[in-house]
């Protein structure tokens, strides 16, 4: 088991999702843009999937420390939890001042290798929709 206590920013040019994202199995390569204030645009490099707004979990949810099972950590090549960047996919409704983060299925990126996966956390009590910035 690997407990993630991750950095809040990255200089990683492309994140590679071997299995795609949940609901978008053909979306494999995403570039991360921005990062100011812990918010990134995650855009596909090949137009195979949609773009997302993602937030660095460590910035908005400092008490959030998901635990990855050994198989997931191995797929991502995470020998050191410090190499993991944990991002939450953000949804914005009609009122843009209200945004929610998905803490149940974070995006975990190995900042050393670029390997990434959207991990559905089983057996952990994290909500699917949490107001962005709620502690």
> Which token pair is 105?
């299925």
CATH code of residue 112: 2.30.290.10
DSSP 44-77: ESSSSS--EEEEEHHHH-TT---EE-HHHHHHHT
Please name the residues in contact with 105: beta carbons below 8 A apart, sequence gap of 6 or more. Answer: 22, 89, 118, 119, 120, 121, 128
Closest CA to 87 of 3, 2, 1, 7: 7
Give the pLDDT of residue 92: 86
**Tally of structural domains, the chain:** 1
What are the residues facing 125 on neighbouring strands? none
Q: What is the pLDDT of residue 81?
A: 87
- Residue 14 is predicted with a pLDDT of 87
Average pLDDT, the chain: 87
Note the pLDDT of residue 128. 92
- Residue span of the structural domain in which 67 resides: 2-131
Q: What is the pLDDT of residue 134?
A: 66
pLDDT at 130: 92
- Match 């998901």 to its residue by tokens: 66
* Residue range 77-114, pLDDT digits in tens: 999 888 999 999 999 888 777 899 999 999 999 999 99
pTM: 0.86
pLDDT for the residue numbered 135: 61
Residues of the chain with pLDDT under 50: 4, 6-10
Distance CA 25, CA 6 (A): 26
- pLDDT for position 61: 93
């Amino acid at each position: 088991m690997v407990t993630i206590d991750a950095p809040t920013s990255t200089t990683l040019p492309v994140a590679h999702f071997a299995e795609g994202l949940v609901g978008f199995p053909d979306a494999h390569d995403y570039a991360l843009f921005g990062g100011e204030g812990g918010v990134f645009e995650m855009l596909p490099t090949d137009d195979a999937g949609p773009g997302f707004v993602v937030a660095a979990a460590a910035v908005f949810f400092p008490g959030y420390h998901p635990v990855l099972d050994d198989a997931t950590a191995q797929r991502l090549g995470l020998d050191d939890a410090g190499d993991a960047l944990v991002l939450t996919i953000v949804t914005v409704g009609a009122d843009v001042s209200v945004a929610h983060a998905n803490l149940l299925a974070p995006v975990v990126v190995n900042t050393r290798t670029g390997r990434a996966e959207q991990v559905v956390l089983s057996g952990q009590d994290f909500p699917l929709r949490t107001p962005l910035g709620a502690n």
